[in-house]
Chain A
């Protein structure tokens, strides 16, 4: 084990996978300069053929990824900010997510789209959306949301080796967060949730960047004798329902923390699934801690007022535990 920042772990994953598989081509805006640090050094190591700076033209590059993959390449396409995915959305929603299905499985589309997602850095409304619900709703793309540096590395390597389009969404502004990363090669499979902290009283499912505040809240509540089980789905497509349902059946209570806007968030989807299939196990209504249906503001004090935080999570946990069936 060594202590590394998330962005370093991602950089290692990219380097190792491009070394391992010469069919990989990586392109995107400023991947040479590397705004976030994830693609740092790749151009120097692998050359201008395999690592390409593109113009700022998301409509083209998101579709080029599909064409190059259809023609036999393994592709890593850097979309930079999650909000820029919207500009490239035709090729993502209409081509990447559908071409295999429409052609009866004639092809594989091994594409990893990289983007940062979510707020917290005063980047304002057009650089701060948590875009995973939009992508999860497409049906034909997988969506990975790592919650730690070790997961980021193992999940990114799996994403690159996967034969389907995968969005790897790194939580914006969290690239600098350190964590222990194994030295030896390892993969973390897509679709396998992790129990970050066991607990008997309530299941707290936290997605991507929300894992950290969820663990802090769980730690604080533990001091009061409240034992919360923190579940990190790690990928929202596929979603490891087995692990989540098993946890809910053990604890009887569920709070989901999701940095998405409330309407059609993954938290909403998960709440619906649990209500539908595990209603008998519930001792209290499911609670969601999400972002209200508004834009992400600029001023730090405004942004803090909008995004889920430790206090909001603690409050939701307490209220769920305090709930009693009306007489």
Chain B
């Protein structure tokens, strides 16, 4: 089973499949929970974009750093974050990965190199650049990856990061997930030129890839990761993908005029990264179908366990609301 000539081992292909399905099923659960009014805050779903997080994070260890976005569940799970503790966090419970202090837009687990989701569009770019500086000083081959959207590509800090990372040859990979929308504005209405080519004047290698093809993502990340680990500097990857859900789940309550055609959404659904990958695996090895079904069943159970864990977790103690503002209390 070579999956498009990638020569990836079978176990690796199945693990990529498993992680994409895990992200998808967890988020479908969250969509139902949101519709049922079970979630205290907003959720921004990553459905349709799973191949990007998985294709990149399969190259990373827990010691590498990632920064993520408000649409961050996929990065958290792809990097090895615990689905049950993420679920509890989004439910606002004490056993959440951030104790209920952060919620969906701030899921983080520093012990796994997940600096976290970020509620500020573009907010993770500078953080990842700083983590890359720390990694460079440590000199042990660690790298940092900043995931950000096409919306964030219009924040000036991206240019600042490209400049410094190139000057200092930082082990940084900038991964732009171009999902077609900057909140509710179609990308073409707010973004000029090519995002990938914004790296060119800084001398930073860049590639524009099919973000719905997990193997293409894996291959592009492979080149960028090697370059970063070898101390040769940063890269930019623009992964073209599509946000099949809305910007934020509860937008049905305030969006009165549709901002996109259903036909466009359907066309992208036909290019769904998980369906495409599963089809490819089956075509190359019909015998894999049973294994995929077993993975699907195991993931369903993981999601049910995550929900049980989250539902059974207590709410945080209101007396703890002041939280951990300072490490050294005043």
Contact = CB atoms under 8 A, between A and B. Distances in A.
Contact of B101 (A68, A69, A101, A139): A101
A64 B330 CA distance: 25
B229 interface: no
B110 to A, nearest CB: 5
B164 interface: yes
B22 interface: no
The interface size bin for chain A is 35 or more
A35 interface: no
B116 interface: yes
Interface stretch (B45-53, B118-126, B203-211): B118-126
B134 A103 contact: no
Given A63-B157, A91-B126, A104 B324 contact: yes
Interface string B130-164: 11111101100000100000000000110011011
A56 to B, nearest CB: 9
Interface string B39-58: 00000000000000000000
A302 to B, nearest CB: 34
A191 B330 contact: yes
B328 A64 contact: no
Contacts of B111: 106
A24 B111 CA distance: 21
B318 interface: no
A91 B101 CA distance: 19
A237 B329 CA distance: 11
Chain A interface main SS type: mixed
Contacts of B125: 60, 63
Interface in B100-121: 100-102, 106, 108-111, 115-116, 118-120
A90 B325 contact: no
Contacts of A59: 126, 156-157, 160
Contact of B123 (A63, A72, A105, A107): A63
A95 B328 contact: no
B155 to A, nearest CB: 8
B110 A107 contact: yes
Nearest to B320: A104
A138 B126 CA distance: 20
A94 B110 CA distance: 18
B130 A64 contact: yes
Interface string B156-193: 11001101100110000000000000000000000000
B120 A57 contact: no
A66 B325 contact: no
Contacts of B254: none
A318 B261 CA distance: 73
Contacts of A90: 120, 123, 157
Contacts of B109: 106
B67 interface: yes
A66 B118 CA distance: 13
Nearest to B105: A102
Given A65-B130, A95-B127, A103-B116, A71 B324 contact: no
Most chain B CB atoms below 10 A, which of A64, A73, A101, A163:
A64
Given A55-B164, A67-B134, A104-B101, A190 B65 contact: no
B241 interface: no
Contacts of A94: 119-120, 123
B132 to A, nearest CB: 8
Q: Sorted from nearest, which 4 A-B pairs have the closest CB atoms?
A: A63-B126, A67-B130, A238-B330, A105-B324
29 contacts: A50-B137, A55-B160, A55-B163, A60-B160, A60-B161, A60-B164, A63-B125, A64-B126, A64-B127, A64-B129, A67-B133, A67-B144, A70-B65, A70-B130, A71-B134, A91-B123, A91-B126, A94-B123, A100-B326, A100-B327, A101-B101, A101-B324, A102-B98, A102-B106, A104-B98, A106-B98, A106-B109, A163-B328, A238-B330
Interface of B: 65, 67, 97-102, 106, 108-111, 115-116, 118-120, 123, 125-135, 137-138, 144, 156-157, 160-161, 163-164, 167-168, 323-328, 330
Given A67-B65, A103-B101, 13 more contacts: A60-B125, A63-B123, A63-B129, A67-B131, A70-B130, A90-B120, A90-B123, A101-B101, A103-B110, A103-B116, A140-B326, A163-B327, A238-B330
